[in-house]
Structure 1
Amino acid sequence: MRHDEFIGQVQARARLDSRGAAESATRATLETLAERIPAGLADNLAAQLPHEIGEHLRRVEAAPEISATGVRMSRQEFFDRVAQREDKDVPKAVHDARSVIEVVDEAVQGNLTDRIRQSLDEELSQILFAGSTGTAGG
């Protein structure tokens, strides 16, 4: 999937009014996901996404507080971080993050989405991947 197609899909699914808003939602979601999942998974995911989008996963990888297994955070903290990065309220951030994950799920191959899902707490996984239709199921 190409960058423009990815962002267009996020914009359509999240019903965002601009490509800039879709870019912001994508960045906020993937940067937060990169903090939460193991660094190796974030790198593998970045490699399967368009370069510009994959960079959102690599940007936070070097942060000193992020361990090889990812930062433990509650479902609420995850979505609070997305909301803060996106400068939106939490319910809208949840909706946007789910839309981004749906597109990610369709853009990657193999069992990568399943591995990401398994690395998350069950509650966060169920909310974040609720709309996924690819390898992770839905």
Structure 2
Amino acid sequence: MNYDTFVDQVAQRTRTSSEQAVELTRATLETLAERLTGGEVLDLAAQLPRPLQVVMKPSPRTEQAERFGAAEFVARIALRAGVDESAARDAARAVFTTLREAITGGEFDDVATQLPRDYRKLVEPAMAPGATLRRS
């Protein structure tokens, strides 16, 4: 999946503009990169379009995954994107669903297994049958 398609999918799923979808995607992926181990970040980034790879670039300080729950995950997205937590939660779901479409199934499963159980409401919509966006 190319960058424009990724952003368009997030924009449609969040019912926002492309510009807002770029911010929501960036905020979500930056936060996800903090939550995953450095090796998993590299594996995930390798399958993403170049502009998104840059967002997910791990640093030596991010080799270890930070431990924080889903509420903190959503709060960080909200802060980064300048939106309320409801919009951040919707963004996380939209980005996870789009990620599932953009990368190989096994890699998405690897990402999902690194997240604790309280992330279920954010990740499961991406794994549900029929989660892919249907174009009119």
TM-score by length of 1: 0.88
| 1:88 match: secondary structure | coil
- Contact 1:106/1:134 (8 A) holds in 2: no
Q: Superposed, which structure 2 residues align to 1:1-138 within 5 Å? A: 1-16=1-16, 18-58=17-57, 61-62=58-59, 64=61, 66=62, 68-124=63-119, 126-133=120-127
- Contact 1:42/1:57 (8 A) holds in 2: yes
2: CA distance, partners of 1:73 / 1:87: 20
- Contact 1:106/1:133 (8 A) holds in 2: no
1: CA distance, partners of 2:123 / 2:10: 14
**Structure 2: runs of 5+ lacking an equivalent:** 132-136
1: CA distance, partners of 2:60 / 2:24: 21
How many aligned positions are there?
130
| 2:56 match: secondary structure | helix
| 1:71 match: secondary structure | coil
Following superposition, the deviation at residue 69 of structure 1 comes to: 3.3
Following superposition, the deviation at residue 134 of structure 1 comes to: 7.5
Q: CA-to-partner distance for each residue in 1:5-64, whole Å, 9 max, x for gaps?
A: 111111001111x11100001000000000001111111111101010121111xx2163
TM-score by length of 2: 0.89
Q: Any runs of at least 4 consecutive aligned residues in structure 1 with deviations exceeding 3 A, and if so which?
A: none
Cα RMSD between the aligned structures?
1.7
Q: CA-to-partner distance for each residue in 1:84-125, whole Å, 9 max, x for gaps?
A: 00101111100011101100111001411111111111111x
| 2:110 match: secondary structure | helix
1: CA distance, partners of 2:128 / 2:5: 17
